[in-house]
Chain A
Amino acid sequence: MLKQIEGSAAVAEAVGLCRPEVICAYPISPQTHIVEALGRMVSAGKLSPCEFINVESEFAAMSVAIGASAAGARAYTATASQGLLFMAEAVYNAAGLGLPIVMTVANRAIGAPINIWNDHTDALSQRDCGWIQLFAEDNQEALDLHIQAFRLAEELSLPVMVCMDGFILTHAYERVDIPTQAQVDAFLPPYEPRQVLDPADPVSIGAMVGPEAFMEVRYLAHAKQRQALELIPAWADEFRRIFGRQSGGLTHAYRTSDADVVVVALGSVLGTIKDTVDEMRAGGMKIGALGITCFRPWPLAAVREALAGAKCVVVLEKSIAIGMGGIVANNVSASYAGRPDSVHTVIAGLGGRAITKKSLHRVFSQAMEGMLGPLTFMDLDHALVERVLAREREQRRSGPIAEGILRDLGVVGAKIG
């Protein structure tokens, strides 16, 4: 059924249709609307049997999800930013124990300085924790990926993180097709756990493992993620058969077949990139885009194939490996069979900085002309940076950087972008 609703409401409906049995969450922007909507569904008796557990922190949220999942319940939670960092130890445990929890990460920057706006540094900080990480391009895909995530998680007995851009998607009203319960039931079978805490058949979960077997447990986690590379495209096909639309999969290629320049990105910025690609194509430029839907496991072969014909690769990412450059770009470089100096990193949109078509045109045109450097900070205010550096040269007690920059900048309430 087509509806014009907020992204968070769409995700809540999708999660509800997946018949979760335990939902636990601690509120943090921009994830809050999702769990609030689920809380209302539970209290109205629309989700039954399902227990909504209010917890005192994100660490508790993931710990409760671990306990619920180990007891055989289909468990869901959601978080963002500092919330994800606060639960990090339990996030690793969920993966290490092989518990199929599904979690929405409403992507948001990490402090300090505190910032509630969107970028991808929260999810990417957990890229090696053992969770599968899927990134949604729009709200329809965010909705659809949650349905696919439960199936994937439970089949592999691995947790899955569905990442959607905070505010840009979570708070956007757009048209989504809400599936029927029958469609979701046809795609997602009841949860049949591989391991369960059952008093009638007692086991322990979470044993200490020494040097004699730790490597093997870790290797199996890696092997399972490689298995996901086979299952994800197959299930995207099955999803299309049941739901009638293409959603999920490993990557989305857009006008790449004859492209000299291919732009690689994650999440909602792909929409703006595709519009820019169309405009540049209309001007005769051979440019395309590659969306990474599945970031973990990293779809090396799919990325390599999609980039095979590209002379130049631009990785536009809302994340930064401070002291190194791009996180996504590093993964892309490993998959690009061409010359390594043809992969260009563009850091953009950190902390919610708007990513505009105008700026994308400028950066992509530079790439077409061979004028783009290895690492670019798109729309960086160099003068502002220089003032801080000058202050630091001039005085030892130059003061806190963030507050100094805000003082230099003056009132920003009037800015629209």
Chain B
Amino acid sequence: MFQVRIHGRGGQGVVTAAELLSVAAFREDRHAQAFPSFGSERTGAPVVAFCRIDDRPIRLREPILAPDALIIQDPTLLHQVDVFGGLVPDGYILINTSRTFEDLGLGDFVRDFSAAQLCTVPATEIAMKHVGRPLPNAALLGGFAALTGRTSLESVNSAIREKFPAKVAEANVLAAAAAFEYVAREKAEVAHA
């Protein structure tokens, strides 16, 4: 089982991101379970959503306490919420920011992580460019596909097209592709460093 926890703020499409990821996994004939942390749907309030992916039916209903991957949609949460709580030692971290882990003050925290598991991507800027609204979720899923290889960009796109009307979907597909490219480039740079 692969467990993903997504942190963000109400209004950033955090819950939708988890749902889309589950649909992407479903498109690949895998079992997936997405659910929100309930009750805090106020705009701007910290929101958590979860997605489990497995090759067999998922029965577990507890919140994801030991995620294999973290997607952080809003870096301002780093000082407010224990976003890294329970992250497995070799887990993936994807943060929506134009800054680096070092800039964010996370240099010490990620020292023991494999650099190939860590990535930042300016998903809000990418979303503003392609979608015209500060909704970084689709872009981050593109970045997630590039970072982890746990789902393909095609499956993410197919989930986006299922969820949104055609015009909005295509804008988000472009954002996901741009973030995918960005992360793939960053990974290649790490591999060559």
Interface residues of A (CB under 8 A from B): 2, 4, 6, 30, 116-118, 138, 167-168, 171-175, 268-272, 274-275, 352, 354-358, 413-414, 416-417
Contacts and interface: CB of A to CB of B under 8 A. Distances in A.
A116 to B, nearest CB: 5
Given A174-B32, A414-B80, A414-B82, A354 B45 contact: no
Contacts of A268: 61
A413 B37 CA distance: 11
- The majority secondary structure among interface residues of chain B is loop
B69 to A, nearest CB: 15
Interface string B80-93: 11100110000000
A168 B39 CA distance: 12
B33 interface: yes
B38 interface: yes
A171 B61 contact: no
Interface of B: 5, 18-19, 22-23, 25-26, 31-40, 45-46, 48, 57-63, 65, 80-82, 85-86
Contacts of A414: 46, 80-82
Contacts, number: 90
Nearest to B39: A116
A4 B158 CA distance: 12
A173 B32 contact: yes
Contacts of B31: 174-175
A2 B32 CA distance: 13
Nearest to B51: A173
A6 B32 CA distance: 12
Contacts of A138: 59
B182 to A, nearest CB: 27
Contacts of B34: 172-174
A357 B62 contact: yes
A6 B31 CA distance: 14
Given A6-B19, A413-B81, A414-B82, A171 B63 contact: no
Given A168-B61, A416-B37, 8 more contacts: A4-B26, A117-B38, A167-B35, A171-B38, A174-B33, A355-B61, A414-B82, A417-B63
A4 B85 contact: no
A246 to B, nearest CB: 13
B18 to A, nearest CB: 8
B33 A356 contact: no
Contacts of B23: 4, 173
Given A272-B62, A275-B59, A173 B80 contact: no
Nearest to B85: A416
B32 A357 contact: no
Contacts of B19: 6, 173
B32 A271 contact: no
Contacts of B48: 416
A271 B61 contact: yes
Top 5 A-B residue pairs of the complex, sorted by shortest distance between their CB atoms: A271-B59, A4-B26, A173-B34, A167-B38, A172-B35
Interface centre among B19, B36, B57, B62 (most CB of A within 10 A): B62
Given A173-B22, A174-B22, A416-B37, A356 B62 contact: yes
Nearest to B86: A416
A416 B6 CA distance: 11
B82 A416 contact: yes
A138 B33 CA distance: 11
Nearest to A140: B57
Contacts of B22: 4, 173-174
17 contacts: A30-B38, A167-B35, A171-B35, A171-B36, A172-B33, A173-B22, A174-B34, A175-B31, A271-B60, A352-B39, A356-B62, A357-B62, A414-B81, A416-B5, A416-B48, A416-B81, A417-B65
A201 to B, nearest CB: 49
Contacts of B58: 174, 271
Contacts of A352: 38-39
Contacts of A272: 59-62
Given A171-B38, A172-B33, A172-B35, A355 B62 contact: yes
A416 B86 CA distance: 10
